[in-house]
């Protein structure tokens, strides 16, 4: 198609605490420290993924959220202004907007300088976050879990710690992915390079990395998966 460069949003969730598990942060200070930790680890996950996936097709990815001046300004914002509602989207600001994840960023695009119109339509600007894995489509994720359930036996799971003493998989899906990884990279050294992302257990978060496992996501969506009005 002749496209040489793309813009990508790496860093926005880390800077503004956009991951849904951030609603469980015990305090604003904990919220901020988790942001700093995530920013410092971007090169091991999100940015690494973006770099590999774009370079594979000869594309240059630019990440405006990680511009140094923007990064400094954003991290200097008081964490109290980034903390969002715990478990629901019912807390509103004076304009009736939900105090939700990445509220500061959303609010910045809400109204134009003339004060008359938003930069983006509400259905985009104030939609509930979908985590990267869920965003590809629930059916893909649920299908993978169902396949793992059929492919990995209960006996294999009971012996998971013996087969994989390093970073033992806790679900059949994780076990299946570990099997596939081991087939290509069988050494322990290779296993140590793969970072398994899970939310903060010490904050009471589920070990399931899916955003749908978080109460704040469940409270925003109906049983049919559609966003509640």
Residue 19 · residue 216 · CB < 8 Å: no
How far CA 168 is from CA of 160, 182, 198, in Å, comes to 6, 13, 13
3-class SS of residue 62: strand
pTM: 0.81
The CATH code of domain 5-125 reads 3.40.50.620
Locate the domains of the chain by residue range: 5-125, 133-209
Determine the pLDDT at residue 204: 84
- The backbone torsions φ and ψ at residue 220, rounded to the nearest 5 degrees and listed phi first, read -90, -20
Mean pLDDT, consecutive 10-residue segments, the chain of 229 residues?
91 93 92 95 89 93 96 95 72 85 91 78 87 78 91 96 92 93 93 80 78 69 54
Match 């003493």 to its residue by tokens. Answer: 165
The pLDDT score that the predictor gives to residue 228 is 57
């Amino acid at each position: 198609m002749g496209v040489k460069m793309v813009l990508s949003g790496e860093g926005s969730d880390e800077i503004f605490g956009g991951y849904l598990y951030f609603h469980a942060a015990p305090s604003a200070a904990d919220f901020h420290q988790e942001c700093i930790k995530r920013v410092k680890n971007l090169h091991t996950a999100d940015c690494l993924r973006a770099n590999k996936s774009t370079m594979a097709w000869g594309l240059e990815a630019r990440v405006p959220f990680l511009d140094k001046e923007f990064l400094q300004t954003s991290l200097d914002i008081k964490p109290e202004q980034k903390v969002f509602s715990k478990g629901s989207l019912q807390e509103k600001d004076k304009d009736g907007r939900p105090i939700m994840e990445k509220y500061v960023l959303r609010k910045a695009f809400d109204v134009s300088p003339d004060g008359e119109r938003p930069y983006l339509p509400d259905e985009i600007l104030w939609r509930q976050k979908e985590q990267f894995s869920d965003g590809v489509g629930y059916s893909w994720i649920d299908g993978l879990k169902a396949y793992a359930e059929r492919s990995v036996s209960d006996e294999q799971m009971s012996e998971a710690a013996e087969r994989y003493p390093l970073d033992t998989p806790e679900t059949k899906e994780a076990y299946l992915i570990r099997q596939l990884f081991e087939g290509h990279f069988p050494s322990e050294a290779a296993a140590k390079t793969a970072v398994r992302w899970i939310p903060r257990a010490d904050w009471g978060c589920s070990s399931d990395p899916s955003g749908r496992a978080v109460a704040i996501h469940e409270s925003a969506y109906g049983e049919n998966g559609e966003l509640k009005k």
